[in-house]
Amino acid sequence: MKEKQNISVEPRVLEAVKQAAVDGRLTCTAARRLAGELDVPVRVVGAACDALGIKIKACELGCF
């Protein structure tokens, strides 16, 4: 079983994820693009999604 890590998420990342999500969902492609734009690791965007209750859909790499 995979353990969840305690990852600190900056407010700017939380806000960006909130804005990017549609109907409480975010595609894997959009999450990876957002991580690049914000210059944060993909796992931080994933942690933001978890914190906000946003589901990742169409995951391509099994990261989420």
The 10s digit of each residue's pLDDT in 44-53 is 999 999 999 9
**Residues whose CB is less than 8 angstroms from the CB of residue 58 and which lie 6 or more positions away in sequence, other chains included:** 27, 28, 29
Cα separation, 4 vs 32, whole angstroms: 19
In this predicted structure, what is the pLDDT of residue 59?
73
- 17, 32 in Cβ contact below 8 A? no
The 10s digit of each residue's pLDDT in 24-46 is 999 999 999 999 999 999 999 99
Q: What angle do CA 34, 39, 30 make, to 5 degrees?
A: 10
In this predicted structure, what is the pLDDT of residue 5?
63
* Statement: residue 62 has pLDDT above 80: no
Helical pair 11-20 and 42-52, crossing angle rounded to 10 deg: 70
How sure is the predictor about 57, in pLDDT bands with cuts at 50, 70 and 90?
Answer: confident
